[in-house]
Structure 1
Amino acid sequence: MKLLMICATFPFPPSRGRTQVRTFNLLKQLSYYHEITLVTQKAEDVTEEEIEALKGWVKTLMLFPRPNNPESGIVEKVKRFCQFLITGTPPNVSFLYDQSIQNWVDQAVKNNDFDAITCEHSVNEIYIRPHWKEKIKTVINSHSSVYRTCQHQLDTATSENSQRDRLYLPLLKRYEKRVYQKFSHVVVTTDDDYQQLKEFKINSQVSVLPNGVDLGIFPERSSDPGGHHLILTGGMDYVTNIDAACFFSQEIFPLLRQKYPDAILTIVGANPTESVLKLGKNPGITVTGKVPSMAEYLHKATVCVIPLRSGFGIKNKTLEAMAAGVPIVASDRGLEGMKVDGDNTPLRALRANKIEEYVKGISNLFEDKKLRQTLSKNGRNYVENNYTWESIGRKYEKIITYPL
């Protein structure tokens, strides 16, 4: 088939994390059997080497300039809110919109150039016209619900701007209910997002397709290093990861240092903000920034902590740590969409949402090698059997190629 994939975020290299991981790996699996044209935008940090590498995975790469970040002044923020109120389109979607992309996609659909169109991440929905689904398969691969994320951040007091988000919340609900109706098929990453769409009474088909992991990039570690070494991973310019790093470093790690004076915490992830960099000044904490191999750092850690307090969807960082064979202590948000404990379920991770639960879970793993081995083995097996990009890519292909 001739497939058009639209992704405003340049999806290479996948080591950038977030949108890039899911988009590139699904694109990679589809490229083995279909002709792919990718429409994407080039940010300033995208290199020519990355562009050439991505071209190797697609038939045609349509590259457009990415707009500069919007101005942050109060007047501009008020304008964006008013525009959201009037148009029904969130600012993070409208600011990426490029009329030249729209013209190109319109002409391609008019010419019947493609058999199906996918929007990789919900922000790309803006280029799809509702009547197209009568003539061509249109799929939106929604990485997570923006409405649910906003609601949860308000509920847990983790919002960057609660006053703004309280205004945005009903608008986001209206937006998602409207947008998903445009598509032939909606893909979400968790059962919770699936239930949300059922509540919205979406008349499009909906499928759950989780994230995956590349087992070649994240091999299982050969030995347990022991000791008292913690690792926390993720893009450190993303609000949920920044909050998790600060929360753990300031509220939990000092308590662990009281019990284990030699305990160390390594925060690994690209583009750390100033607030994350400052954490590295605290005793026992190292902030690395971007590293050549995340797996190498995971293999050296005794325990991986995933103390997310907001954000939805299956987390790549959780899958990667499991694949690497590192025992995990994580919050409900860090474990969303995964079966890791409970009746008739092998123990695959320890769950913690309160400070004392983190201290207890980590202490148990520090002191119990057998428990570490159990989580390591069960986590790796779980990923191998359920979350490889090869198996997930085959399911995505079936969704896209199934007739209207």
Structure 2
Amino acid sequence: MQDARPPLLYLTHRIPYPPNKGDKVRSFNILRQLSRTHRVWLGTFVDHPDDHAHIPALKQWCEQSCVIPIEPRIRRIASLRGLARGEALSLPYYRSPRLTDWVRRVVGEHDIRAAVAFSGPMAQYLDVPGLARRVVDFCDVDSAKWTQYADEHRWPMSWLYRREGARLLDFERAVAQNVDASLFVTAAEADLFRRAAPELGSRVGVMQNGVDADYFAPANAGDSPYPPGGPVLVFSGAMDYWPNVDAVTWFATELLPQVRQSVPDARFWIVGMNPTPAVQALAGEGVVVTGTVPDVRPYIAHADLVVAPLRIARGIQNKVLEAMAMARAVVVSAAPASGLAAEDGRECAVAADGEAFCARVLDLLRDPARRAEMGEAARDCVLRAYSWSAHLRALDWLLEASAGTQGADRSGAAQAAIAQLEPGAAPLR
């Protein structure tokens, strides 16, 4: 029987499987959703040796895939070409003639009319004859992230990061001008981009993150990985990602000592792949750095408290949603909490600064019953507000809304679909 699903091009900056870090959780769930309604041609990069083994698994969701290995150290050097060209360094980092040729070939050979790009730099592959519908999932306003990095570093890195923020914003605006829809993970991120590009506001929408609440469930806690001792505070995430490195460094060096003044046996576990030398150096009195673990769920489920002390963060953090799904009480800093559909004090604890963060941690450590109550409310919040299938239907709406239309009609159809993505809007029928 002939497959009636239409063909679609999906582009990601990192192989979307396995979903073992924040961006891959989102890109994988998008891939899985798209494959239900489309035959997917995937173009992507693999930047970690362990991920090569997972390339064959992509056949479950993809008609065909083009997976290009990249060496991050070499790519960082190659990206410096952007200085001479006056462009954002992120663009040459993810620029590949091989992927360009593959995209042009499969779009022509398979009559692919629609494309979804995950992350801004992958939008540079969308200028291809034949594509009639293009959606970019920016996730976050990356240009703002780089500008924020500049404030945390000294010259010359502060100059380089500020330059990257400005050049990337120029690129993001140009992309948004030429695609049917630009999506962001929270309303706050979408509003931030609308303020930077007000003329594009009607084509900017929100597609929130979700969580697999069946996988991240209290029933899947397993055995405790923690040796006997005092209460455990845990942070999970990819530990070569600068915002995560900054978060655990701040917590371990400045906040944990304050917590331990009141709770001397409190322990801080840093759980996640690829810990940088700076993270590894934190290991010692009261701090454990695990590196890669086979399953993060037992570490979350058996911790007394999950902490997310992120000072440099954009959008909803999957690590927070996963902890909430496992019915854990979470203390989260204000930045990643801004787009979270959770009530402070009932479904999570939000802290505006270091002093407040320590106070919220200590309050919850002293009150096990309140921690349990907050954990249960957190899971209810996830079940109510963070279904992947519900959020990702936005892509189906956008691709269907513009199907069979042209020019202004297509733009109007996409804008009508985007209007339905705003929080509180009634779903399309």
Match among 30, 35, 55 for residue 34 of structure 2: 30
Unaligned stretches of 5+ in structure 2? 1-5, 403-409, 411-429
Greater Cα offset, 261-270 or 60-69: 60-69
SS at match of 2:396: helix
TM-score computed with the length of structure 1 as normaliser: 0.89
In structure 1, the partner of 2:306 is 304
Distance between the aligned counterparts of 1:315 and 1:158, measured in 2?
27
Distance between the aligned counterparts of 2:374 and 2:349, measured in 1?
8
> Residue 59 in 1 paired to residue 63 in 2?
yes
How far residue 156 of structure 1 moved from its aligned partner, in angstroms, is 5.8
From the superposition, tell whether residues 114 and 325 of structure 1 become closer, same or farther in structure 2 (CA, over 3 Å). same
In structure 2, the partner of 1:249 is 252
RMSD after superposition: 2.6
> Residue 339 in 1 paired to residue 341 in 2?
yes
Match among 213, 216, 219 for residue 215 of structure 1: 213
In structure 2, the partner of 1:378 is 377
In structure 1, the partner of 2:182 is 186
How far residue 319 of structure 1 moved from its aligned partner, in angstroms, is 0.5
From the superposition, tell whether residues 293 and 80 of structure 1 become closer, same or farther in structure 2 (CA, over 3 Å). same
Distance between the aligned counterparts of 1:204 and 1:81, measured in 2?
33
SS at match of 1:348: coil
Distance between the aligned counterparts of 1:339 and 1:160, measured in 2?
38
Unaligned stretches of 5+ in structure 1? none
Distance between the aligned counterparts of 1:53 and 1:250, measured in 2?
41
Q: State whether residues 67 and 96 of structure 1, in contact with CA within 8 Å, keep that contact through their aligned partners in structure 2.
A: no
Q: State whether residues 79 and 89 of structure 2, in contact with CA within 8 Å, keep that contact through their aligned partners in structure 1.
A: no
Distance between the aligned counterparts of 1:248 and 1:222, measured in 2?
28
How far residue 328 of structure 1 moved from its aligned partner, in angstroms, is 0.7
Q: State whether residues 70 and 95 of structure 1, in contact with CA within 8 Å, keep that contact through their aligned partners in structure 2.
A: no
Q: State whether residues 19 and 121 of structure 1, in contact with CA within 8 Å, keep that contact through their aligned partners in structure 2.
A: no
> Residue 258 in 1 paired to residue 261 in 2?
yes
> 1:251-292: per-residue Cα shift (whole Å, max 9, x none)?
0001111111111111001000111011112x1111111111
Greater Cα offset, 294-303 or 225-234: 225-234
Q: State whether residues 184 and 204 of structure 1, in contact with CA within 8 Å, keep that contact through their aligned partners in structure 2.
A: no
Greater Cα offset, 146-155 or 233-242: 146-155
> Residue 295 in 1 paired to residue 297 in 2?
yes
Identity %: 27
SS at match of 2:112: coil
How far residue 168 of structure 1 moved from its aligned partner, in angstroms, is 3.1
> 1:229-251: per-residue Cα shift (whole Å, max 9, x none)?
10011100000000001000000
From the superposition, tell whether residues 149 and 396 of structure 1 become closer, same or farther in structure 2 (CA, over 3 Å). same
In structure 2, the partner of 1:5 is 10
Q: State whether residues 79 and 90 of structure 2, in contact with CA within 8 Å, keep that contact through their aligned partners in structure 1.
A: no
SS at match of 2:274: coil
SS at match of 2:337: coil
* Count of aligned positions: 390
In structure 1, the partner of 2:122 is 124
Aligned counterparts, 1:324-403, within 5 A: 324-341=326-343, 347-403=346-402
> 1:163-184: per-residue Cα shift (whole Å, max 9, x none)?
3223333323322221221211
From the superposition, tell whether residues 110 and 33 of structure 1 become closer, same or farther in structure 2 (CA, over 3 Å). closer
In structure 2, the partner of 1:270 is 273
